[in-house]
Amino acid sequence: MSNVLRARRRLDLLQVVLFFVAVLLVVVADAGVTSQYRRKLEATVEMPLDADVFRVPPGYNAPQQVRLIRLRQPIDQEGTAMIVSWVTANELGSSTVMYSEASPDPEKMELRAEGTHTRYDYFNYTSGFIHHCTLTNLKHSTKYYYAMGFGHTVRSFCFTTPPMPGPDVPFKFGLIGDLGQTFDSNTTLSHYEANGGDAVLYVGDLSYADNHPLHDNTRWDTWARFVERSAAHQPWVWTAGNHELDLAPELGEHVPFKPFAHRYPTPFWYSVRVASAHVVVLASYSAYGKYTAQWEWLRAELARVDRAATPWLIVLVHSPWYSSNGYHYMEGETMRVQFERWIVAAKADLVVAGHVHAYERSHRVSNVAYDIINARCTPVRTRDAPVYVTVGDGGNIEGIADNFTQPQPSYSAFREASFGHATLEIRNRTHAYYAWHRNQDGAKVVADGVWLTNRYWMPTDDDIN
Amino acid sequence: MSNVLRARRRLDLLQVVLFFVAVLLVVVADAGVTSQYRRKLEATVEMPLDADVFRVPPGYNAPQQVRLIRLRQPIDQEGTAMIVSWVTANELGSSTVMYSEASPDPEKMELRAEGTHTRYDYFNYTSGFIHHCTLTNLKHSTKYYYAMGFGHTVRSFCFTTPPMPGPDVPFKFGLIGDLGQTFDSNTTLSHYEANGGDAVLYVGDLSYADNHPLHDNTRWDTWARFVERSAAHQPWVWTAGNHELDLAPELGEHVPFKPFAHRYPTPFWYSVRVASAHVVVLASYSAYGKYTAQWEWLRAELARVDRAATPWLIVLVHSPWYSSNGYHYMEGETMRVQFERWIVAAKADLVVAGHVHAYERSHRVSNVAYDIINARCTPVRTRDAPVYVTVGDGGNIEGIADNFTQPQPSYSAFREASFGHATLEIRNRTHAYYAWHRNQDGAKVVADGVWLTNRYWMPTDDDIN
């Protein structure tokens, strides 16, 4: 065999090897990951009622369940207002909030806002006095001390207002869903706190009170005491989930969302602008057919989004549109059919859902070509579409959803049946780092992390596909 | 050529001819019909306010807009109750209804029921006094005289109660949608009256008041005066359409269905049993996601249907699930995705929709095999499925929808852009005659008629496919 021939054969062999390596790389890059990590198999149980996290603050009629709530667009376009909500259990007390940039001492807080209160009955339960007080004309990126409970037991907290909206303002969101109040819930919240986000985008299902006999509404109270340690210091953006419906005709309770609506003075569909993000919150359990109020609102809202000012368009919804878990499979279809084409056309960056008690992240996919008779009904990868994540893995009493469909469909990039939380760190108008953290690791360990590029500013970048 | 050969050739020829005849028959039987009938091309205009059909009845505070409304299941399981509704314009007056089997003379009516009243404001409009009075313990198949307006101007009417539900009880329904109050609307109603149904299944969009400046609510009044000539003498089963939403944030009107809900004391989703039919009414513009009140109700309601007692399962909905008209194309998809598989599993006989201002009838088709990744998203013919009809051709101010998609899809059996109404004559547990009548013909001319066989009692019969 001549050297020339040998060289050619070596070259042929090299080409063949390179070809297979390339194929392997494509396959690895393309295939979705079903993580084989197994969480500990202990039962998911609620923390006992005497757990420290549920402790009623000491003092007669002490304010409890303190939480910050962002006002919706367009009422609070720039984010210079904040609703402070809390509950007093013994008597009405005061709905006043005192606040100050300068002094953490309630006696010396020079600003003052008057709130209102409400309460509700649910079967055999009567709520405490639920106070809602709106602070307005706040400065951006400013630390405020605030206090309530005047006349009896004063409690004080502090929070930092969000920065003025702008295209390159960095911000870190926590993404949490279906939290509940189990030991796992507590781990999730602690890990989120350790990771230090600036605000939480909460994708629904809060207390799971409705899993208790008579929808035991005291579980709404314990839950709000449990999350106070975060929610009193930074705003949580609320999404309504099915566990907020609290429909119980057998108890004479026919009004949907009664406890939730009294406790969380937020609409079911709305938006907030935060730093460089425009966050759209949708309502899976309200009407969204054409001509309905939500439909009319979303159409108008998407036209109001200014990607030059707030480049990151994030959508929150409880029931996911892309989930390959057998649990709640296809429940989001009816809303996807209605809204997906608008969300794709708007070039949304990220759609965050809860509902399914596991973690999943999609590729950039869309499924909007169907017209009944053309058979084009399969999700296709496209850089025009958002990434879909399901973070209904907060850790509630119903346990983990570990029955993923097999094989993993092509729209699914990563899925794992573990509890955890995610974060989205926006760096500037073009880049954001998304990370999911499972509870069995240290808080800062990233179990699934990807860089996202902005669909408005870098629409042709293939960031993760 | 021998005779034997000639005979064989003749036989061959006969076979060929027979084959082509058979092919032709299959093609004719299978292809959908897009009727080429063209309606007159005059504009569709509302009748003038001084038209006789809108006349306020004479006499001070005379009851007007009188109408009968069936109570929903399960409150009125057997159909022995009826709501009488009317409006007084000058002052409250009496909410009493007097009634009698024996006497058409209000003075001699021996039975009495006390009603309630309501009224509402809508921007700059204040409604009259809207009275609702429920008559109970009525006998079946019995003619009752009734009267209201005591103290001022008494008016009297009569109606015949529906027969006791039973599997072979004949009954004739009118199917009307999107009626409005044009000259065409009047023709539609007159033709229905000439065809003599026992009750109307009305599939939404009543007055089109919202097409007038400020949603001119006096148009709700004129409409109800217009239809009184039928609705005061037989019950109309109401479905909520998009023109009942009356959302007008620019007018400060944020509560959906405000005028409709005050005037028509009927839920948005409910059922009634009439003779041999179980009629399920769905709400296209309320929530129907999993876990919502409508979803929970429909699931339970379909389990309550007793086809042995009421063989005919009829579903009313405003926005059609199968329509091949370009107008409102695919608007019903989101609800179809949610509910179609239940309706097919329940072996419903007929689904009646409005919304699209034209007429269409489908073959028996279903599209319930889709699971996101299997690409099975094309409607297929199946004898298990209901027939879908769209009768949004009542004749309202918005005119005809004559932009059918081309070519006619395989699920569509007959479609025509003309105004008209349909009737469903149930003969017994196995057979019913469905007919559509266009307004340009004499009332009794059947432009599209088919015999339907019952899906419970004759599930394997290929009636129309």
Query: What's the confidence (pLDDT) of residue B20?
Result: 56
Chain B window 182-241: which residues touch A at a Cβ cutoff of 8 Å? none
A236: in domain: no
Report how far residue B264's alpha carbon sits from residue B280's, in angstroms, rounded to the nearest whole number.
Answer: 17
Report how far residue B24's alpha carbon sits from residue B31's, in angstroms, rounded to the nearest whole number.
Answer: 11
Closest to B147 in 3D by CA, of B87, B100, B184, B88: B100
The better pLDDT of the pair B38, A268 is held by A268
Test B284 with A288 for CB contact under 8 angstroms: no
Test B296 with A247 for CB contact under 8 angstroms: yes
A230: in domain: no
Report how far residue A242's alpha carbon sits from residue A284's, in angstroms, rounded to the nearest whole number.
Answer: 8
Test B371 with A330 for CB contact under 8 angstroms: yes
A263: in domain: no
Cβ contact A298:A339 at 8 Å: yes
Please write down the HEC assignment for all residues of A99-135. Answer: EECCCCCHHHCCEEEECEEECCEECCEECCEEEEEEE
Cβ contact A335:A288 at 8 Å: yes
| Partner-chain residue, chosen from B286, B337, B367, that has the shortest CB–CB distance to A287 | B286
pLDDT in tens, A92-148: 999 999 999 999 999 999 999 999 999 999 999 999 999 999 999 999 999 999 999
Burial class, B175, CB count within 10 angstroms (exposed 0-12 / middle 13-18 / buried 19+) = buried
Cα torsion A294, A299, A303, A307: sign: positive
A375 interaction partners in chain B (CB closer than 8 Å): 375, 377-378
B191 tagged catalytic: no
Residue A432: give the domain boundaries. Answer: 168-198+275-465
Q: Which residue has the tokens 């919502």?
A: B292
Q: How far is CA B359 from CA B35, B326, B382, B401, B448, in A?
A: 10, 13, 22, 9, 10
A34: in domain: no
Closest to A463 in 3D by CA, of A376, A372, A385: A385
Q: Which residues contact A425 (CB under 8 A, 6 or more apart)?
A: A170, A171, A172, A173, A432, A433, A434, A435
Query: Token pair for residue A259?
Result: 């406890």
Test B330 with A372 for CB contact under 8 angstroms: yes
Of the pLDDT bands very low, low, confident and very high (cuts 50, 70, 90), residue A44 is: confident
A333 interaction partners in chain B (CB closer than 8 Å): 337-338, 372
Best interface-test mutation with A: which of B268, B373, B376 has the largest number of A CBs within 10 A?
B373
Q: Around Cβ A112, how many Cβ atoms within 10 Å?
A: 13
Q: Which among B132, B243, B328, B363 is annotated as catalytic?
A: B328
Residues of A noted as catalytic: 328
Strand partners, A156: A147
A411: in domain: yes
| Partner-chain residue, chosen from A286, A289, A319, that has the shortest CB–CB distance to B334 | A289
Test B254 with A372 for CB contact under 8 angstroms: no
Report how far residue B111's alpha carbon sits from residue B213's, in angstroms, rounded to the nearest whole number.
Answer: 43
Closest to B400 in 3D by CA, of B421, B416, B424: B416
Test A373 with B372 for CB contact under 8 angstroms: no
Report how far residue A420's alpha carbon sits from residue B409's, in angstroms, rounded to the nearest whole number.
Answer: 48
Query: What's the confidence (pLDDT) of residue B70?
Result: 87
Best interface-test mutation with A: which of B260, B268, B291, B301 has the largest number of A CBs within 10 A?
B291
Edge-to-edge strand ranges of the sheet holding A199-202: A236-238, A199-202, A171-176, A420-426, A431-438, A448-453
Start-to-end Cα distance in chain B: 46
Q: How far is CA B28 from CA A123, B25, B31, B407, B410, in A?
A: 62, 5, 6, 15, 13
Best interface-test mutation with B: which of A373, A378, A408 has the largest number of B CBs within 10 A?
A373
Of the pLDDT bands very low, low, confident and very high (cuts 50, 70, 90), residue A73 is: confident
Cα torsion B400, B406, B408, B410: sign: negative
Chain A, nearest residue to B380 by Cα: A373
Compute the nearest-CA separation of A155 from chain B (Å).
Answer: 38
Chain A, nearest residue to B374 by Cα: A378
Q: Which H or E run contains A175?
A: strand A171-176
Distance of CA B171 to the CA centre of its chain: 15
Q: Which residue has the tokens 């399920």?
A: B280
Q: How far is CA B417 from CA A37, A232, A442, B43, B326, in A?
A: 60, 60, 66, 14, 12
Establish if A254 touches chain B: CB-CB under 8 angstroms: yes
Per 3-state DSSP, chain A is made up of helix, strand and coil in percentages (nearest 5) of 20, 30, 50
Report how far residue B316's alpha carbon sits from residue B173's, in angstroms, rounded to the nearest whole number.
Answer: 12
Query: What's the confidence (pLDDT) of residue A27?
Result: 45
| Partner-chain residue, chosen from A293, A372, A378, that has the shortest CB–CB distance to B256 | A293
Query: Token pair for residue B214?
Result: 């400020």
Edge-to-edge strand ranges of the sheet holding B236-238: B236-238, B199-202, B171-176, B420-426, B431-438, B448-453
Test A242 with B287 for CB contact under 8 angstroms: no
- What single string gives the DSSP state of each residue in B234-262? S-EEE---GGGT--BGGGTB-STTHHHHH
| Partner-chain residue, chosen from A285, A296, A375, that has the shortest CB–CB distance to B375 | A375
Report how far residue B63's alpha carbon sits from residue B317's, in angstroms, rounded to the nearest whole number.
Answer: 31
Cβ contact A246:A259 at 8 Å: yes
Report how far residue B126's alpha carbon sits from residue B181's, in angstroms, rounded to the nearest whole number.
Answer: 21
B230: in domain: no
Query: What's the confidence (pLDDT) of residue A42?
Result: 66
- What single string gives the DSSP state of each residue in B309-335? TS-EEEEEESS-SS--BSTTTTTTHHH
Q: How far is CA A56 from CA A48, A212, A454, B421, in A?
A: 14, 20, 44, 65
Residue A407: is the preceding peptide bond cis (ω within 30°)? yes
Report how far residue B258's alpha carbon sits from residue B215's, in angstroms, rounded to the nearest whole number.
Answer: 12
DSSP class of A57? P
B242 interaction partners in chain A (CB closer than 8 Å): 290-291
Strand partners, A360: A390, A415
Number of domains in chain B: 1
A371: in domain: yes
Query: Token pair for residue B149?
Result: 């307006």
Establish if A337 touches chain B: CB-CB under 8 angstroms: yes
Test B334 with A335 for CB contact under 8 angstroms: yes
Q: How far is CA B300 from CA A256, B73, B204, B295, in A?
A: 18, 12, 24, 9
Q: What is the CATH number of the domain that holds A453?
A: 3.60.21.10
Amino acid at B229: R
Establish if A406 touches chain B: CB-CB under 8 angstroms: no
Full pLDDT tens readout for chain B, 465 residues: 455 555 556 655 665 555 555 444 444 445 789 987 766 556 789 999 999 999 999 999 999 999 999 887 777 778 899 999 999 999 999 999 999 999 999 999 999 999 999 999 999 999 999 999 999 999 999 999 999 999 999 999 999 999 999 999 999 999 999 999 999 999 999 999 999 999 999 999 999 999 999 999 999 999 999 999 999 999 999 999 999 999 999 999 999 999 999 999 999 999 999 999 999 999 999 999 999 999 999 999 999 999 999 999 999 999 999 999 999 999 999 999 999 999 999 999 999 999 999 999 999 999 999 999 999 999 999 999 999 999 999 999 999 999 999 999 999 999 999 999 999 999 999 999 999 999 999 999 999 999 999 999 999 999 875
B342: in domain: yes
